[in-house]
Amino acid sequence: MHRQPVLEFWYEFASTYSYLTAMRIEAAAEAAGVELVWRPFLLGPIFKAQGWETTPFSLYPAKGRYMWRDMEREAARLGLPFYRPEAFPQNGLIAARVALLGSDRGWTPAFTRAVYTAQFAQGRDIASPQTVTDILTALGLDAESVLTEAGAETNKMRLRRMNEEVQSRGLFGAPTFFAEDGEMFWGNDRLEQALDWAVAQARRGQAPA
């Protein structure tokens, strides 16, 4: 029997293309027989290291205009609702801290999809603690205690360390995928190639145990 392939999925909550991936990756990974590791992170510090104070979609208007149009088309092609939020990029810090906390508890995928849906299908403000509270409550969780724990120093530091660590592995945008051998794929357009790579790598048995 083969070992099950594993793929890391790194996403930023404000990232439009990460939304497309988050909504379809679970079905795609299941079909490919790949186990997913969901990894929320923050693009802000990554962009700052490249000299950008905000997203390139704001810094370069022609690229930004195209992105919104491309998102409309790609969301339609993938059968996903898409609403352009009034504010962009939104601050995904609280959501990222909560998603990280949930990663040891099994509810991160559902929480992540709910946050993206609130932002890009319902036009809600994900920086607002109320939005996050509503989502946690709908998932049957104790929102107040989760938010307190997510905002505690341990969890905040863990998110920061993971951000620094993944930056040192070459990540520069979102979504980004890593196979177990460190092979990196960037963008919703590379999800299929990333899954294929993870499967082929596990078959070769070259991954560290």
CB-wise, 63 or 105, nearer to a copy of itself? 63
Among 3, 193, 200, 206, binds a copy of itself (CB under 8 A): 193
Shortest CB 128 distance to a copy of itself, Å: 32
Within positions 127 to 186, which residues make up the interface with a copy of itself, using CB under 8 A?
Answer: 170-173, 184-186
Binding of residue 68 to a copy of itself (CB under 8 A):
no
Q: What is the size of the binding site for a copy of itself (CB under 8 A)? A: 21
Do the Cβ atoms of 69 and 42 come closer than 8 Å?
A: no
Binding of residue 2 to a copy of itself (CB under 8 A):
no
Stretch that binds a copy of itself, among 58-66, 90-98, 109-117, 119-127 (CB under 8 A): 58-66
Do the Cβ atoms of 40 and 13 come closer than 8 Å?
A: yes
Residue 65 Cα to chain centre, angstroms: 22
Distance in angstroms between the alpha carbons of the first and the last residue of the chain: 14
- Calpha distance 38→109 (Å, rounded): 7
- Calpha distance 79→65 (Å, rounded): 22
Stretch that binds a copy of itself, among 61-69, 98-106, 128-136, 198-206 (CB under 8 A): 61-69
Strand residue runs (E) in the chain: 6-11, 35-40, 176-179, 184-186
Contacting residues toward a copy of itself, per CB under 8 A:
50, 60, 62-63, 65-66, 69-70, 73, 77, 170-173, 184-187, 189-190, 193
